[in-house]
Amino acid sequence: MRKPIIAANWKMNKTVQEGKSFSTLLPADTSLYQEVEVVICPPFTALQAVGEELKGKGIKLGGQNLYPMEKGAFTGEVSPLMLQDLGCTYVILGHSERRHLLGEKDEFINQKVKAAFAFDLLPILCLGETLEQRQKGATEEVCHQQLQGSLKDIEAQDVAQMVIAYEPVWAIGTGVHARPADAEKTIACLRQVISKEWGEEIGAAVRIQYGGSVKPENIREFMSCANIDGALVGGASLKADSFYQIVRGAREGSE
């Protein structure tokens, strides 16, 4: 039985004060957070303050990116050591905004995945097709390529621990979510690819989220799909109330 996982990707939103007030407003529902793993990924500038505020609530902290070196002359970058130092457990890697706006390729993302594991950070590896690729019928091929390129030479036991987020690019921030049955089909294929590459046990253990316009109104339907283990949430994670409704919906939908 895989534990559901809901992660909040705040992207480039929230000052320190705004991050703190979100954390204060989020109900201290520790029994819920034991059943559904909850991760908040604030911008780097708010990580420490949000981490302090969330202490004792049973909620984990994640970074939104890292540079694959421990330290050095990399102006403007943040290292896995720095994320670890601030108490992060997870790190989002390969998000479509970084792939498409900043030109990140699978090879570079693969270096980041390795750097994350080297510092005990669990990657939330994002992948997904563009609308054009979907219309060409290339969804599965694109997702498999991104998966294999980003996870090249990663050990089976590491793959079992990490999280994959299937996020169709056309569904991110658009208000148009994938049909749960379509997301389930792609995620089931990804699980098969993982089983073939790293073994049945790993394929059965790895958690795969859906991401793209998830809201309190649609989370239950995604969670009722056999292969969907949670969600990566952007816009609807910015308000404590809607994010909390999503976490509650995830528990109900997966029952």
Give the binding site for ligand PEP (CB under 6 A).
9, 11, 167, 172-173, 211-214, 232-236
* Closest C-alpha to 223, from 3, 48, 55: 3
Give the residues across from 232 on adjacent strands.
7, 211
Give 198 or 222: the residue with its C-beta nearer to ligand PEP. 222
CA distance 83 to 19: 17
Give 164 or 236: the residue with its C-beta nearer to ligand PEP. 236
Cα–Cα–Cα angle for 95, 14, 16, rounded to 5 degrees: 120
Q: Phi and psi (nearest 5°) for 90?
A: -120, 165
Question: Of 37, 53, 167, 184, which one is the catalytic site residue?
Answer: 167
Q: What is the smallest separation between the CB atom of 65 and ligand PEP, expressed in angstroms?
A: 12
Q: Is 95 a catalytic residue?
A: yes
Question: Of 37, 95, 104, 129, which one is the catalytic site residue?
Answer: 95
CA distance 217 to 43: 26
Q: What is the smallest separation between the CB atom of 175 and ligand PEP, expressed in angstroms?
A: 8
Helices 180-198 and 139-150 sit at what angle, rounded to 10 degrees? 40
Give 23 or 213: the residue with its C-beta nearer to ligand PEP. 213
Q: What is the smallest separation between the CB atom of 84 and ligand PEP, expressed in angstroms?
A: 23
Q: Which residues are catalytic?
A: 95, 167
